[in-house]
């Protein structure tokens, strides 16, 4: 089969098309034919060799994808060849025509959801769900700020929070991004490049403050985030690309909690619960992943560049044989 492989860490051009053996499933495993593959920022950090966890070289990147079950191993009763599924993790990497997965990494893809949309579930939707509900404990009736509401995780968080009955404020860096955030369910939108964004957001709460902030760029925003929280407010720190200065007094005055998260730390039973909720949301139509750009699998390097550019508008996916 064809796969995009990394032989050495470096810039996007290290992603090269190679012919590799098609995986075969062992007990408790399955092979999924990939129809769409999700591209996430973390895959660019890993490819560059700057991420804390480095895979052994050479490797095939990717955790997220959607497609059709090709083959199941012994002891797999949950799925059969031909089933539509999405993947949240993979043993062999998803930037390929086929991916080897453990059964627990595979979830049903309802008929009303496209493969490209399925490729948005494994990382962005699971992260948004965990950040909002398992880490920040966001509750119906509370006000949430999705700080970075135009990208893969942000659009997912807007849909999830809106469906759960929160008042949703979102930010984006472009008019198109703000339009998108509003279309996905944000009650009010703001420009995260505007110097007075925090004053505007505080005003939108009539001075009471925000209960939960889902923060996608903490190195830029965390210090100011702490000044617009309500008493007992929580910040789910999901994205950060550097250091930031905070005034600890801002947390003391409001009994504020900072709750960092990395999706791979999620205990298996909580992860299973996340995907049960996500599949239900896909089935009932409250979750509708937004696809920003599609690239052929062979153009993974361009997709890696695109996912790090400003002006996110939903999810970037790769399509084999496009
Ligand atoms: P993405 O699709 O590229 O979206 C990036 C988002 O960040 C866009 O909404 C972008 O808005 C926004 N942004 C840019 N400047 C900002 C600012 N000054 N303040 C607030 N937001 C700003 O990426 P993604 O997949 O959603 O991931 C977002 C971040 O979360 C990445 O850093 C990623 O590594 C991280 N992440 C972490 C976990 C975890 O387990 N902790 C899991 C998944 C992702 P505009 O483009 O409109 O400016």
User: How far, in Å, from the CA of 108 to the mean position of ligand 1?
Assistant: 27
Question: Which protein residues are within 6 Å of ligand 1, measured from CB?
Answer: 40-42, 123-124, 127, 147-148, 150-154, 171-174, 177, 192, 216-217, 220-221, 238-239, 261-263, 307, 310-312
Q: Which two tokens stand for residue 65?
A: 């994808």
Instruction: Note whether 167 and 55 are same-domain residues.
Output: no
Q: If DSSP codes are grouped into helix, strand and coil, which group holds residue 19? A: strand
pLDDT of residue 59: 98
Q: Which two tokens stand for residue 16?
A: 């090269």
Q: Determine the residue of 216, 237, 259, 315 to mutate for testing ligand 1's pocket, defined as the one with the most ligand atoms within 8 A of the Cβ atom.
A: 216
Give the tens place of pLDDT for each residue, 90-139: 999 999 999 999 999 999 999 999 999 999 999 999 999 999 999 999 99
Give the C-alpha separation, 116 to 37, whole Å: 7
Within a domain: 282: no
Give the tens place of pLDDT for each residue, 169-203: 999 999 999 999 999 999 999 999 999 999 999 99
Instruction: Note whether 186 and 94 are same-domain residues.
Output: no
Q: What is the CATH number of the domain that holds 154?
A: 3.40.50.720
Q: Determine the residue of 38, 41, 126 to mutate for testing ligand 1's pocket, defined as the one with the most ligand atoms within 8 A of the Cβ atom.
A: 41
pLDDT of residue 321: 83
Instruction: Note whether 252 and 131 are same-domain residues.
Output: yes
Question: What Å distances lie between residue 227 and 107, 232, 244, CA to CA?
Answer: 40, 12, 14
User: How far, in Å, from the CA of 157 to the mean position of ligand 1?
Assistant: 11
Instruction: Note whether 142 and 66 are same-domain residues.
Output: no
Instruction: Note whether 129 and 107 are same-domain residues.
Output: no
User: How far, in Å, from the CA of 31 to the mean position of ligand 1?
Assistant: 30
User: How far, in Å, from the CA of 280 to the mean position of ligand 1?
Assistant: 25
Q: Is the pLDDT of residue 322 over 80?
A: no
pLDDT of residue 207: 98
Give the tens place of pLDDT for each residue, 288-317: 999 999 999 999 999 999 999 999 899 999
Query: Could you identify the residue written with the tokens 């690309």?
Result: 241
Within a domain: 144: yes
Within a domain: 303: yes
Within a domain: 272: no
User: How far, in Å, from the CA of 266 to the mean position of ligand 1?
Assistant: 20
235 CB-side CA count, 13 A: 27
User: How far, in Å, from the CA of 216 to the mean position of ligand 1?
Assistant: 5
How many domains is the chain partitioned into structurally? 2
Give the C-alpha separation, 318 to 271, whole Å: 25
- Determine what percent of the chain is predicted with pLDDT higher than 90: 98
Give the pLDDT mean for 211-215.
99
Q: Is the pLDDT of residue 159 over 80?
A: yes
Give the tens place of pLDDT for each residue, 267-290: 999 999 999 999 999 999 999 999
Residue 40 structural domain: 2-120+289-319
DSSP string of 91-141, one letter each residue: SS-SSBSEEEEEGGGEEE--TTS-HHHHTTIIIIIHHHHIIIIIIS---TT
Instruction: Note whether 167 and 256 are same-domain residues.
Output: yes
Q: What is the CATH number of the domain that holds 110?
A: 3.90.180.10
User: How far, in Å, from the CA of 292 to the mean position of ligand 1?
Assistant: 14
Instruction: Note whether 129 and 260 are same-domain residues.
Output: yes
Q: Please, what is the end-to-end C-alpha distance for the chain in angstroms?
A: 15
| Contact (CB, 8 A) for 144 and 212 | yes
Instruction: Note whether 258 and 146 are same-domain residues.
Output: yes
Within a domain: 150: yes
Atom from ligand 1 closest to the CA of residue 241 = 32
pLDDT of residue 240: 97
Give the C-alpha separation, 16 to 289, whole Å: 28
Give the pLDDT mean for 200-213.
98
Give the C-alpha separation, 317 to 296, whole Å: 8
Q: Which two tokens stand for residue 134?
A: 């398992």
pLDDT of residue 63: 98
pLDDT of residue 120: 97
Give the tens place of pLDDT for each residue, 56-79: 999 999 999 999 999 999 999 999
Within a domain: 151: yes
- Nearest-CA residue for ligand 1 atom 18 is 192
Within a domain: 56: yes
Within a domain: 274: no
Q: How confident is the model at residue 238 (pLDDT cuts 50, 70, 90)?
A: very high
Instruction: Note whether 67 and 153 are same-domain residues.
Output: no
Instruction: Note whether 181 and 254 are same-domain residues.
Output: yes
Give the tens place of pLDDT for each residue, 13-57: 999 999 999 999 999 999 999 999 999 999 999 999 999 889 999
Instruction: Note whether 111 and 148 are same-domain residues.
Output: no
Instruction: Note whether 70 and 135 are same-domain residues.
Output: no
Q: What's the whole-number average pLDDT of the chain?
A: 97
């Amino acid at each position: 089969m064809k796969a995009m492989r990394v032989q050495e860490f470096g810039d996007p051009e290290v992603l090269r098309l190679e012919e590799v053996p098609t995986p075969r499933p062992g007990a408790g495993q399955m092979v999924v034919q990939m129809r769409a593959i999700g591209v996430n920022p973390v895959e660019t950090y890993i490819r560059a060799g700057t991420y804390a966890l480095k895979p052994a070289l050479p490797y095939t990147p990717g955790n997220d994808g959607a497609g059709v079950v090709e083959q199941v191993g012994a002891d797999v009763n949950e799925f059969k060849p031909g089933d539509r599924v999405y993947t949240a993790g993979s043993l062999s990497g998803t930037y390929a025509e086929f991916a080897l997965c453990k059964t627990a990494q595979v979830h049903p893809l309802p008929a009303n959801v496209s493969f490209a949309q399925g490729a948005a579930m494994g990382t962005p939707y699971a992260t948004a769900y965990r950040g909002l509900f398992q880490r920040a404990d966001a509750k119906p009736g509370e006000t949430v700020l999705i700080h970075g509401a135009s990208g893969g995780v942000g659009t997912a968080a807007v849909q999830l929070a809106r469906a759960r009955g929160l008042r949703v404020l979102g930010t984006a860096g472009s008019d198109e991004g703000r339009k998108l955030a509003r279309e996905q369910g944000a009650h009010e939108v703001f420009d995260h490049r505007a110097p007075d964004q925090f004053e505007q957001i505080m005003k939108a709460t009539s001075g009471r403050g925000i209960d939960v902030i889902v923060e996608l760029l903490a190195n830029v925003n965390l210090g100011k985030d702490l000044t617009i929280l309500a008493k007992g407010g929580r910040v789910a720190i999901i994205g950060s690309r550097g250091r930031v200065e905070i005034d600890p007094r801002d947390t003391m005055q409001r009994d504020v909690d900072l709750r960092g998260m990395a999706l791979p730390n999620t205990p298996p039973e909580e992860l299973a619960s996340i995907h049960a909720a996500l599949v239900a949301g896909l089935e009932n139509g409250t979750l509708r992943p937004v696809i920003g750009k599609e690239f052929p699998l062979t153009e993974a390097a361009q997709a890696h560049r695109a996912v790090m550019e400003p002006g996110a508008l939903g999810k970037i996916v790769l399509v084999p044989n496009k």
